[in-house]
Structure formats: structure tokens, C-alpha cells
């Protein structure tokens, strides 16, 4: 395609009136918060922009901020596509998000304590027992175990969208090993390098304080009797798709990045193998899944974990972050009870909206789902990364039948929600050399420690790069944007 | 520092250094052979054999006709050949990857950039006319990497371990070059006086170690076997000499092992012993039986490396 470099970068922008555009209002005018940015970008020619875009890409590649895509014959390094047009969130809007994210994290923490202790919420019938008894992520081993500081979900990633009604909705809570925070920081770095001039016109919150807050949180949940805890980040290794993030977090906290084989258990303590012999480890921020943590307790053939780790944890001599078994609370079936969970433990109304959800495990709702598949999104409750999702209005008749059969075969496995319309944001599309509307979401990062809480002022705005696509996960070809939270 | 990470950093240092010596060996031998005085030194076949010998893949069949492009490709970009330059760079970057939280962003970025540049180098261009450009690029990048190592990370245990790797590898490569060139000198003798001692190959040897000009400055005459062995093995002021490497290795091991009691089982003691031995060697003694001295030295360098692994990386 030959480049016509003279026309301004926004000239081909088509606005679909059915979609909620973050930049333009209903009359097609630029929203006030974006005016300055729009002026600055609008002045660039396509050629200028292509240069900037290439520079940003090279910067990511050289920094080694790449990931590997699963299920490809030869694992290939890819850059997480990065869009140079930032998303801006106004201060008051952000306040709601921040308060809501903390509220959810606290409620989930109390819920986890309850389901691994007295199970009051189940006994009182507010959340059905069957949801937990059938959950593969519920760990019997965690029963009656008190995690240090009473915290389970130290790190939470909350996925939010803005619907066509202009309101934020939570799509899911990620409280196992939510990833993506390193991209928030590297996106900011890349944008600052490429377009430093634009920052002068906005008062944006910094995102570089995440690591120091994370270390604070980790140290706040140190085992009893430890004065200066030794914290580490536990990674599955350099071939993991999120390895960059693991190394970034370790480096920016100034702690060791360990693999399972670097740790061992002796006399009820965990040690790492250093060049000067063993050194005791007190807090492990683990980035491997529960089932790989300890072959003695969980999957016996796991080589990623540390034999005996769980028994040390049970003794209270090491803290595992996030606690094992948090997956019982972040699956898509529990999600639908979040309003009730928040009310039950905190006595508050939920600050952030939940999407109306139909449980295929309930016969009446199952019936509704089966009859209305074209208007619904059907999701398996226990899959991560956007896998296994069916979007009703994209399916052929035959595919609808297949989905129905799948649901009928295993109703507990599925939930359905109305098709939410994610808001759109101007995004640079390489193939057409212009900005186009693309769907976005937002992942926020919340930290919860003993008497401490923190929400990163910013977040990962993920973009579905394919036209019309609603799935923003990086494993499904999504990209991301720098996200500015403005100061008051 | 984690034992595993120390192991990775040690080998990262070794592979960076090894890449440099492979590249320079190709460059120097190829280009100095073009107008070498001895007809054998000028022969393509002779040079290609020398290259493969240096890579540890000597050709034993005297009649085998080697193909220049094939040999170049095999040594540089053939990923199926575990010793190839590209694999060395891959290993260096793999090792950097698994310890990247320990190093500066600047150092990691340079290694990563180097890796991508080598991965994406146009191989056909290299085969036809890129030998000079590519080998010079590699040697310059390795110098940049050493600069980043020296200039951007703390001079603590991490630095000591990387430098142990670099210096042990450098000493090993220098001895291997001496070995290869000693063999070449036996075949391509000089034209005056003691033919072996005055072979042009001693000049090539010095150039392979980036030491020709400094040798000239020190000795003010064309190199011969004695002056070359002296300069490359025993002259502590020459940063490329084995003596200098052993001194550095000793200084860096002191960072890891500061115990005052000289425990004879430690690698520190062993390094000190070899270092002292070479401090009092004489070049003519070495020349009396070059091959045996080379074998003995290579063996001792291997033992140092093994002992470092046993003492610090065993986990």
C-alpha cells in the first residue's frame, strides 16, 4: 500500500453511532478531556506517526518486553502490540473505580476467610454450597489455615469495561496470579520516550510506585517473629509467557527472582540456594499456579514447585502470596454473587456494577440461556485467557446448536451474560495507516496487605485490535494503551 | 546471590567472550591470508582448515576439498552446529534472560539488541561479501557489552562472577589460538633464519588476540615464536595475556572468598597456585615443548572452571 503521507492522521476516522466512543461525544465533538491530546496528535502526518510507531515497537523489542504465544509449532517472540494514543480517565471517574476495586478486594478476602473457616455465607444460603463443592479451585488443604496477616488476595486484577450506557461494569476479578502490571509501566515509559511533549499538557499520576508498594505489602504479611523478611518472586522460568514481568517485579523490588529448583525445605523452613549456602525465605510472591506449588501436596509430578512448601506454610513459617485456593473466589460463577458477597461482609452497596449473569446450573436460568443464545455471551467458568468463549451474535445456526449441546452436557461449567458493548477508543491500525475505533477494557491492580491497601493509579487498557472483536486478551491478539489517570 | 543465577552469569560472560574470539579468528585469518608471504598461508584450504581446527572441529582427511561458503556458514550461522557463533550468542542471551533481574537494564538491552541483530543478519550477504562487516560488528558489540558490564552494574559478587567467566574464557581462547597457530607455523614456515620461529603465523596469532600493535611497540621488531609466546602467555601488562587473565581471575575470586585461612581444597588456592606458576615461567622453556605446555594449561583452566562450578554453582 502506497502511503499518502500528507493527510492528517484522523481523517479516516469512522464513528459508529451505536458504540460508546471514549474520545468523541454523541455529536461527534472531541470530549473536553481529550481536546489537547487530539490537537497534538491531529497535527501529525501519517508519516510522522508511522515513524513514532516503529520507534516504539523497536524499543519494546530491544528491551525484551515480549511474550510467547502458546500452541505454536516454534515458539516465537512477539511484542505485545502497543498503541501510542493513550486512554485518559478523569479524576472523579477514577475515584469510583479505586474505591470500588478496594471494596471488591476486601469483600473477596473476607469471603475467602469465611469459606476456608466457618462457611457462614454458605450455611446461611447466600452463596449456594454447590458452587464451592464443585469448584476445582477450592482447596481442602486450606481449611482452617490462617494465612499470615489474614490476607488471601494480596494482589487483585479487576477487569472493567464501559458499556454503551457510559457506566463501568466489572467483567471479572482475577485473584490468582493476575499479570499485566509490568506493561502498565513499560507502556508509560515507551509513550514518554516517543511523545514527551504531550505530558506537559496533562497532570497525570505516575505508575512507577507499584513495585515499592508491592514490597510494602509483601513485608506486611511476614511470618510471625520475623523482623526483616526476605521476600522473593517465584517464577516458572524464562520460557513462561510472563517472564518479563516476573523479572521486572523482582528487579524493581530489589529481591531475588527464584525458580522452584532454587528453593528447598528443611526443618520446617524454606531456604534458597545461594553461592554462600542456604538463606531463609519468608515471603514468596509466587507466579505459578496452586497446583504446581508443592508436589507433596498438589500435583505430584510438578517440577516447578518446592517439595514440602505447603507444610511450611501451614506452620506459618512462610507466607505465600497470593494464598493458595484463592481461585475458588474468582471464578465466573462466584462473580455473579459479588453484589451479595459485598453486602454480606461489608454491609455496603457495591460501588462497581456487576454484569447480569445467568447460571446454567439453575434450571430456570438454563432454560433462558438455551432459548436466547444469539443475544448472550457464553463462558466457561474456569478458563482463563479468553479461551472457550462463544459470542451469540457471531454464531451460525450449527454453532449455536453445538454450544447448546456443550451446555446441556455440563451446565455447571457455563454461565451466560448479555452481550456487553465495550466502549471504543481511537487506535492506530498499521494496515490502514489511520486511527479506527477499537474496543477496550481496563484492568486495575489492587494490593491488599495487613492494614494496607493500594490501587495503582493507572491500569492496563487492553485493545481488541481486530475490527469488531470484543476479546482483548493478549493471547488472542490484543494490544494495549497507556492509561492516564489525571490528578485533581 | 542464587547459585543458579551465578552459574548463568558466569556462562553469559564466557559466551560473550567466546563469540568475540570466533569472530576475530575468522576475520584475521581470512584477511591476513590474502597476501601472506608463504604460499601455504595464502591457500584457501589451509586457512579454512585452521578455522575449523580452532573451532574444535579439525579436518583429518588431507584430501578433503572444503567449500569456503560452507565453512563460513558452519562456523557462524549454522544453528545445527552447537559451536557456531550464532549459538554462542543465543546461549549468552539465554543466560542473560534467566538472570536479567540481576543486571542493569542497559546491559540487558545491549545483549538483547545484539542477539536480535545476529538473528536477523542477512546470511546470503554474509556468505558472499559480509565476512568483514559481520565479524567486525560482533567484535565491536562484545566490546560494548564488556563496557556495560564494567560501567553499569555494581562491582560486587555479580560483577566478580561475570568477570571470572570472561577472563577464564579469554585465557582459554588465547591458548586455543596459540595451539592452532603453532600447528600452522609448523607447516607454513618463515623464509629466513629459523624458519619455524620466524613464521608469518606468529603475526597472525598476535592479530587474533588484538595484540600485534602493542607487541610491536614493546619489541620494536617483527614477532617470532619466543616474543609472541612471551607476550601472549606471560606479559602481565598485556590485557590479552594468560598471565593477565590469571591475575584477574585471582582478584575476582577474592571477592567471593575472602577467608584468610588458605584452605588447600578451595578454588581460590588452586587459582593462586597456577597464577604463581605462570608468574615465574620462561618463554624458552615453554617453546621447548609447546604442545605439552598448551595441553597442560588448557587442562588447568578447565579444572579452575570445574572447581568454581563445584564450589559456587552446585545446587
Q: Which residues of A touch B (CB under 8 A)?
A: 61-64, 233, 237-238, 243, 246-248, 250-251, 256-259, 261-262, 272-275
Q: Which of B2, B6, B97 sits opposite A258 (nearest CB)?
A: B2
Residue B57 near residue B83, CB atoms below 8 Å:
yes
Q: Specify if A363 maps to a domain.
A: yes
Q: Tell me how far apart the alpha carbons of residues A488 and B18 are, in angstroms, rounded to a whole number.
A: 56
Q: Do A251 and B1 touch (CB under 8 A)?
A: no
Going by pLDDT thresholds of 50, 70 and 90, the confidence category of residue A281 is very high
Q: Tell me how far apart the alpha carbons of residues A295 and A292 are, in angstroms, rounded to a whole number.
A: 7
A205: CB partners within 8 A, 6+ apart:
A457, A458, A484, A485, A486, A487
Residue A479 near residue A79, CB atoms below 8 Å:
no
Q: How many other CB atoms are there within 10 angstroms of residue A1's CB atom?
A: 6
**Maximum Cα interatomic distance, chain B, rounded to a whole number of Å:** 58
Lowest mean pLDDT among A184-188, A217-221, B134-138, B149-153: A184-188
User: Can you tell me whether residue A68 is helix, strand or coil?
Assistant: strand
DSSP state of A294: -
Q: Tell me how far apart the alpha carbons of residues A232 and A336 are, in angstroms, rounded to a whole number.
A: 34
Give the strand pairing for A269-274 and A263-266: antiparallel
ipTM of the complex, rounded to two decimals: 0.81
Q: Which of B6, B112, B161 sits opposite A62 (nearest CB)?
A: B112
Which residue has better confidence, A158 or A16?
A: A158
- Residue A116, CA distances (Å) to A139, A142, A152, A291, B7 in order: 9, 6, 11, 17, 42
Average pLDDT, stretch A220-235? 95
Kind and range of the H or E run holding A309: helix A309-315
Judged against a pLDDT cut of 60, whether residue A199 lies above it is answered with yes
Q: Which residues of B touch A62 (CB under 8 A)?
A: 109, 112-113, 116
Count A/B contacts: CB-CB distance under 8 Å: 59
Q: What is the pLDDT of residue A63?
A: 79
Q: Which residues of A touch B2 (CB under 8 A)?
A: 256, 258, 262, 272-275
* Domain containing residue A403: CATH number: 3.30.1490.270
Residue showing cell 621447548: B288
Kindly report the backbone phi and psi dihedral angles of residue A446, in degrees, each rounded to the nearest multiple of 5, phi listed first. -120, 135
Q: Which of A248, A251, A256 sits opposite B2 (nearest CB)?
A: A256
Going by pLDDT thresholds of 50, 70 and 90, the confidence category of residue A1 is very low
Q: What is the pLDDT of residue A394?
A: 85
Lowest mean pLDDT among A188-192, B21-25, B266-270, B304-308: A188-192
Percentage of residues in chain B having pLDDT higher than 70: 100
Q: Specify if A395 maps to a domain.
A: yes
User: Can you tell me whether residue A8 is helix, strand or coil?
Assistant: strand
Distance of CA A204 to the CA centre of its chain: 22
Q: Tell me how far apart the alpha carbons of residues A431 and A385 are, in angstroms, rounded to a whole number.
A: 26
Give rounded-to-5 percent helix, strand, coil for chain A.
35, 25, 40
Please, what sign has the CA dihedral across residues A393, A396, A398, A403?
negative
Q: Specify if A406 maps to a domain.
A: yes
DSSP state of A394: G
Beta strands in A235-382 (DSSP E): 256-258, 263-266, 269-274, 277-281, 283-286, 319-321, 353-354, 358-359, 376-380
Judged against a pLDDT cut of 60, whether residue A74 lies above it is answered with no
Q: Which residues of B touch A237 (CB under 8 A)?
A: 98
Q: Do B4 and A275 touch (CB under 8 A)?
A: no
Q: Tell me how far apart the alpha carbons of residues A205 and A486 are, in angstroms, rounded to a whole number.
A: 6
Q: How many other CB atoms are there within 10 angstroms of residue A112's CB atom?
A: 24
Q: Tell me how far apart the alpha carbons of residues B241 and A108 are, in angstroms, rounded to a whole number.
A: 64
B107: CB partners within 8 A, 6+ apart:
B96, B145, B148, B149, B152, B153
The three cell numbers of residue B263 are 584452605
Q: Do B4 and A261 touch (CB under 8 A)?
A: yes
Judged against a pLDDT cut of 70, whether residue A384 lies above it is answered with no
Judged against a pLDDT cut of 70, whether residue A474 lies above it is answered with no
Q: What is the pLDDT of residue A2?
A: 40
Q: How many other CB atoms are there within 10 angstroms of residue A35's CB atom?
A: 13
The residue among A275, A279, A284, A287 with the most chain B CBs within 10 A of its CB, best to mutate, is A275
Q: What is the 3-state secondary structure (H, E, C) of chain B?
A: CEHHHHHHHHHHHHHHHHHHHHHHHHHHHHHHHCCCCCHHHHCHHHHHHHHHHHCCCCCCCCCCCCCHHHHHHHHHCCCCCCCCHHHHHHHHHHHHHCCHHHCCHHHHHHHHHHHHHHHCCCHHHHHHHHHHHHHHHHHHHHHHHHHHHHHHCCCCHHHHHHHHHHHHHHHHHHHHHHHHHHHHHHHCCCCCCCCCCCCCHHHHHHHHCCCHHHHHHHHCCCCCHHHHHHHHHHCCCCCCCHHHHHHHHHHHHHHHCCCCCCCCCCHHHHHHHHHHHHHCCCHHHHHHCHHHHHHHHHHHHHHHHHHHHHHHHCC
Residue showing cell 458452587: A131
Q: Do B256 and A275 touch (CB under 8 A)?
A: yes
Q: Tell me how far apart the alpha carbons of residues A435 and A12 are, in angstroms, rounded to a whole number.
A: 7
Q: What is the pTM of this model?
A: 0.86
Q: Which residues of A touch B157 (CB under 8 A)?
A: 275
Measured between CA atoms, the residue of chain A closest to residue B102 is A251
Give the strand pairing for A353-354 and A376-380: unpaired
Q: What is the pLDDT of residue A321?
A: 97
* Least Cα separation, residue A310 to chain B (angstroms): 22
* Least Cα separation, residue B8 to chain A (angstroms): 12
Which residue has better confidence, B117 or B38?
A: B117
DSSP state of A108: H
Q: Tell me how far apart the alpha carbons of residues B222 and A392 are, in angstroms, rounded to a whole number.
A: 83
Q: How does the average pLDDT of chain A come out, rounded?
A: 89
CA B135-B141-B144 angle, to 5 degrees, is 150
Q: Tell me how far apart the alpha carbons of residues A177 and A155 are, in angstroms, rounded to a whole number.
A: 8
Residue A231 near residue A285, CB atoms below 8 Å:
yes
The three cell numbers of residue A162 are 464501559
Kindly report the backbone phi and psi dihedral angles of residue A142, in degrees, each rounded to the nearest multiple of 5, phi listed first. -85, -5
Q: Which of A478, A475, A453, A452 is nearest to A465 (CA)?
A: A478
Q: Tens digits of per-residue pLDDT, B204-260?
A: 999 999 999 999 999 999 999 999 999 999 999 999 999 999 999 999 999 999 888
Q: Tell me how far apart the alpha carbons of residues B7 and B95 are, in angstroms, rounded to a whole number.
A: 9
User: Can you tell me whether residue A370 is helix, strand or coil?
Assistant: helix
DSSP state of A198: H
Judged against a pLDDT cut of 80, whether residue A75 lies above it is answered with no
* Least Cα separation, residue B184 to chain A (angstroms): 41
* Least Cα separation, residue A3 to chain B (angstroms): 26
Q: Tell me how far apart the alpha carbons of residues A425 and A436 are, in angstroms, rounded to a whole number.
A: 8
Going by pLDDT thresholds of 50, 70 and 90, the confidence category of residue A68 is low
Q: Specify if A376 maps to a domain.
A: yes
Residue showing cell 587459582: B271
Q: How does the average pLDDT of chain B come out, rounded?
A: 93
Percentage of residues in chain A having pLDDT higher than 90: 60
The three cell numbers of residue A367 are 432454560
Q: Do A63 and B109 touch (CB under 8 A)?
A: yes
Q: Specify if A337 maps to a domain.
A: no
Judged against a pLDDT cut of 90, whether residue A103 lies above it is answered with yes
Q: Do B1 and A257 touch (CB under 8 A)?
A: no
Strand ranges of the sheet holding A283-286, from the earlier edge strand across to the other edge? A256-258, A231-234, A283-286, A319-321
Q: Tens digits of per-residue pLDDT, B140-162?
A: 999 999 999 999 999 999 999 99
Judged against a pLDDT cut of 60, whether residue A166 lies above it is answered with yes
Residue showing cell 491478539: A477
Lowest mean pLDDT among A6-15, A181-190, A426-435: A6-15
Q: Which residues of A touch B113 (CB under 8 A)?
A: 62
Q: Specify if A297 maps to a domain.
A: no
Domain of A362, in residue numbers? 356-418
Which residue has better confidence, A3 or B70?
A: B70
Q: Which residues of B touch A251 (CB under 8 A)?
A: 100-102
Can you give the length of chain A in residues? 488
* Least Cα separation, residue B102 to chain A (angstroms): 7
The three cell numbers of residue A347 are 454491609
Q: Tens digits of per-residue pLDDT, B172-188?
A: 999 999 999 999 998 88
Kind and range of the H or E run holding A246: helix A243-253
Q: Do A262 and B6 touch (CB under 8 A)?
A: no
Q: Which of B1, B102, B109 sits opposite A275 (nearest CB)?
A: B1
Q: Specify if A85 maps to a domain.
A: no
β-strand partners of A160: A170, A442
Beta strands in A197-310 (DSSP E): 231-234, 256-258, 263-266, 269-274, 277-281, 283-286
Q: Do B97 and A238 touch (CB under 8 A)?
A: yes
Split into its structural domains, chain A has a count of 1
Q: Tens digits of per-residue pLDDT, A304-357?
A: 999 999 999 999 999 999 999 999 998 877 888 999 999 999 999 999 999 988
Amino acid at each position: 500500500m502506497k502511503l499518502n503521507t500528507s493527510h492528517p492522521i484522523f481523517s479516516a476516522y469512522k464513528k459508529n453511532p451505536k458504540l460508546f466512543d471514549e474520545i468523541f461525544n454523541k455529536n461527534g465533538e472531541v470530549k473536553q478531556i481529550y481536546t489537547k491530546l487530539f490537537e497534538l496528535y491531529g497535527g501529525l502526518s501519517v508519516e510522522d506517526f508511522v515513524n513514532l510507531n516503529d520507534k516504539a515497537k523497536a524499543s519494546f523489542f530491544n528491551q525484551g518486553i515480549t511474550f510467547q504465544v502458546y500452541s505454536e509449532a516454534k515458539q516465537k517472540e512477539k511484542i505485545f502490540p502497543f498503541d501510542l494514543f493513550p486512554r485518559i480517565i478523569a479524576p472523579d471517574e477514577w475515584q469510583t473505580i479505586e474505591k470500588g476495586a478496594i471494596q471488591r478486594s476486601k469483600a473477596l478476602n473476607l469471603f475467602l476467610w469465611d469459606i476456608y473457616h466457618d462457611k457462614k455465607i454458605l450455611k446461611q444460603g447466600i452463596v449456594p454450597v454447590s458452587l464451592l463443592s464443585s469448584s476445582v479451585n477450592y482447596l481442602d488443604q486450606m481449611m482452617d489455615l490462617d494465612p499470615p496477616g489474614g490476607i488471601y488476595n494480596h494482589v487483585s486484577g479487576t477487569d472493567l469495561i464501559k458499556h454503551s450506557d457510559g457506566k463501568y461494569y466489572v467483567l471479572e476479578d482475577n485473584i490468582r496470579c493476575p499479570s499485566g502490571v509490568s506493561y502498565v509501566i513499560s507502556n508509560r515509559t515507551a509513550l514518554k520516550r516517543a511523545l514527551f511533549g504531550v505530558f506537559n499538557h496533562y497532570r497525570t499520576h505516575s505508575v512507577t510506585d507499584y513495585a515499592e508498594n508491592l514490597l510494602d505489602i509483601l513485608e506486611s504479611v511476614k511470618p510471625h517473629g520475623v523482623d526483616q523478611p526476605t521476600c522473593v518472586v517465584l517464577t516458572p522460568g524464562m520460557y513462561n509467557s510472563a517472564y518479563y514481568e516476573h523479572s521486572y517485579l523482582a528487579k524493581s523490588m530489589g529481591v531475588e527472582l527464584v525458580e522452584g529448583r532454587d528453593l528447598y525445605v528443611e526443618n520446617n523452613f524454606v531456604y534458597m540456594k545461594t553461592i554462600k549456602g542456604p538463606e531463609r525465605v519468608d515471603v514468596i510472591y509466587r507466579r505459578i499456579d496452586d497446583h504446581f506449588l508443592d508436589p507433596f501436596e498438589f500435583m505430584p509430578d510438578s517440577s516447578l514447585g518446592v517439595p514440602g512448601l505447603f507444610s511450611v506454610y501451614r506452620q506459618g513459617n512462610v507466607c505465600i502470596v497470593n494464598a493458595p485456593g484463592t481461585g475458588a473466589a474468582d471464578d465466573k460463577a462466584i462473580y455473579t454473587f459479588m453484589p451479595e458477597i459485598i453486602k454480606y461482609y461489608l454491609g455496603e452497596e457495591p460501588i462497581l456494577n456487576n454484569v447480569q449473569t445467568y447460571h446454567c446450573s439453575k434450571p430456570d436460568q438454563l432454560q433462558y440461556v438455551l432459548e436466547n443464545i444469539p443475544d448472550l455471551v457464553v463462558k466457561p467458568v474456569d478458563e482463563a485467557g479468553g479461551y472457550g468463549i462463544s459470542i451469540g451474535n457471531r454464531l451460525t445456526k450449527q454453532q449455536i446448536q453445538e454450544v447448546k449441546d456443550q451446555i446441556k452436557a455440563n451446565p455447571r461449567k457455563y454461565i451466560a451474560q448479555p452481550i456487553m458493548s465495550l466502549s471504543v477508543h481511537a487506535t492506530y491500525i498499521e494496515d490502514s495507516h489511520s486511527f479506527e475505533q477499537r474496543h477496550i477494557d481496563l484492568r486495575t491492580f489492587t494490593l491488599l496487605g495487613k492494614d494496607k491497601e493500594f490501587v495503582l493509579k493507572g491500569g492496563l487498557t487492553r485493545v481488541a485490535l481486530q475490527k469488531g472483536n470484543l476479546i482483548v486478551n493478549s493471547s488472542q491478539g490484543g494490544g494495549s494503551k497507556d492509561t492516564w489517570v489525571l490528578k485533581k | 546471590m542464587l547459585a543458579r543465577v551465578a552459574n548463568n552469569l558466569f556462562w553469559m560472560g564466557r559466551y560473550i567472550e567466546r563469540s568475540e574470539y570466533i569472530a576475530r579468528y575468522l576475520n584475521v585469518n581470512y584477511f591476513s591470508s590474502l597476501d601472506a608471504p608463504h604460499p601455504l598461508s595464502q591457500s584457501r584450504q589451509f586457512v579454512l582448515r585452521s578455522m575449523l581446527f580452532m573451532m574444535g572441529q579439525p579436518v583429518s582427511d588431507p584430501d578433503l576439498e572444503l567449500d569456503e561458503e560452507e565453512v563460513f556458514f558452519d562456523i557462524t550461522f549454522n544453528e545445527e552446529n552447537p559451536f557456531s557463533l550464532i549459538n554462542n550468542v543465543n546461549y549468552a542471551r539465554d543466560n542473560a534472560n534467566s538472570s536479567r533481574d540481576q543486571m542493569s537494564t542497559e546491559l540487558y538491552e545491549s545483549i538483547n539488541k545484539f542477539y536480535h541483530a545476529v538473528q536477523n543478519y542477512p546470511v546470503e550477504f554474509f556468505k558472499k561479501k559480509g565476512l568483514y562487516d559481520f565479524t567486525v560488528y560482533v567484535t565491536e558489540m562484545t566490546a560494548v557489552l564488556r563496557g556495560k558490564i564494567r560501567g553499569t552494574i555494581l562491582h560486587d559478587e555479580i560483577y566478580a562472577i561475570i568477570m571470572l567467566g570472561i577472563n577464564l574464557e579469554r585465557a582459554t581462547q588465547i591458548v586455543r589460538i596459540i595451539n592452532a597457530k603453532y600447528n600452522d607455523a609448523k607447516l607454513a614456515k618463515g623464509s629466513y633464519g629459523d624458519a619455524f620461529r620466524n613464521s608469518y603465523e606468529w603475526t597472525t596469532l598476535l592479530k587474533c588476540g588484538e595484540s600485534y600493535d602493542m607487541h610491536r611497540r614493546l619489541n620494536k621488531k617483527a614477532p617470532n615464536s619466543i616474543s609472541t609466546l612471551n607476550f601472549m602467555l606471560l606479559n602481565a601488562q598485556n590485557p590479552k595475556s594468560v598471565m593477565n587473565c590469571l591475575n584477574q581471575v585471582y582478584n575476582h575470586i577474592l571477592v567471593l572468598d575472602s577467608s584468610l585461612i588458605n584452605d588447600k581444597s578451595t578454588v581460590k588456592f588452586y587459582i593462586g597456585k597456577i597464577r604463581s606458576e605462570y608468574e615465574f615461567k620462561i618463554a624458552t622453556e615453554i617453546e621447548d615443548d609447546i604442545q605439552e605446555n598448551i595441553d597442560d594449561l588448557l587442562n588447568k583452566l578447565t579444572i579452575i572452571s570445574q572447581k568454581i562450578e563445584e564450589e559456587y554453582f552446585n545446587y
